[in-house]
Amino acid sequence: MRSGNLKYAVLGLVASQPEGVHGYKLKADFDALSDDFWQVNYGRLYRVLDHLEQRGDLEAVEEVQSGRPNKKVYRLTERGRQSLDDWLLQPVSDDPQPLRDEISLRLLFLRDDNVEALADLIKQQRGIYLTRLARIARRRRKLEKSGVNMKVVGLIMDGAEMRVRADITWLEHIERKIVRTF
């Protein structure tokens, strides 16, 4: 994920917790929301949080904990709300996506003798996608039960799900059109 978009994702997550959220919880939510294809580590997350705090999009309050280091709780500022709205309303970038998918590459070099290999690949890939869908499903249920406002988060989950579904549909399309006719 491009770092430009990451900061808005962080802003969005903080915005869904009006009473404030600390870094550790934020990371957990992020994982729940984004699954393994949208990785972010603590270091990167804290860098983004610092950056947003400096820009004045977030305000941080030190929370004193006994026997433990103090914990920072982040809240969305008025300026932060403005930045988020600006970003939400700006047109989506229409940069073409690179052909980085292995299947797409292999399709370009398809010959009679590697159809079977492609079939195996498709099967394998579908398995990966299904597993990914299963994770999304589990995340969604977990979030539903955790009391997160599902209005926004649900739409994000829907998007993730639809993309994977599209990929699966595409795989099945390839299967029908190519694997079976060769």
Partner 1 sequence: MIRFDSVTKTFGNGRSRVLALEDLDLVIPAGEMCAIVGPSGAGKSTVLHLAAGLITPDRGAIRIADRELTGMTVDELTLMRRREVATVFQFFNLLPYLTAWENVALPLRLDGVGREEERERVAEALDLVDVGARAQHKPAELSGGEMQRVAIARALVIEPRVILADEPTGNLDSTAGRQVMDLLRDLNDETRVTIVIVTHDPVWASTCDRAVRIVDGEIVEDLSFREPGGTDPPDTVH
In the complex, the residues that contact partner 1 under the rule CB under 8 A are 123, 126-127, 129-131, 133-134, 136-139, 141-142, 161, 164-165, 168, 172
Apex CA 139: angle with CA 16 and CA 42, to 5°? 65
Q: Is the dihedral of CA 11, 14, 18, 22 positive or negative?
A: negative
CB of 151 to partner 1, least distance (A): 13
Q: If DSSP codes are grouped into helix, strand and coil, which group holds residue 93?
A: coil
Q: Which is nearer to partner 1, 44 or 138 (CB)?
A: 138
Rounded to a whole number of angstroms, the minimum distance from the CB of residue 152 to partner 1 is: 16
How near is the Cβ of 132 to partner 1 at its closest, in Å?
8
Task: Classify residue 100 as exposed, middle or buried by CB count within 10 Å of its CB (0-12, 13-18, 19+).
Answer: exposed
With respect to partner 1, which residue has the nearer C-beta, 88 or 130? 130
Cβ-contact 29, 13 below 8 angstroms: yes
What phi, psi does 148 have (nearest 5°)? -65, 145
Identity of the residue, 9 or 160, whose beta carbon is nearer to partner 1 in the bound complex: 160
Query: In the structure, how many helices (H) and strands (E) does the chain have?
Result: 7, 3
The nearer residue to partner 1, 5 or 131, going by C-beta atoms, is 131
**Shortest distance in whole angstroms from residue 176 CB to partner 1:** 9
Residue 167 Cβ, how far from partner 1 at the closest point, in Å? 10
Residue 81 or 176: the one with the smaller Cβ distance to partner 1 is 176
> Cβ 144 to partner 1, closest distance in Å?
8
Closer to partner 1 by CB, 59 or 161: give it. Answer: 161
Q: How far is Cα 166 from Cα 104, in angstroms, rounded to an integer?
A: 14
**16 token code pair:** 């869904």
Burial class (CB in 10 A: 0-12, 13-18, 19+), 157: buried
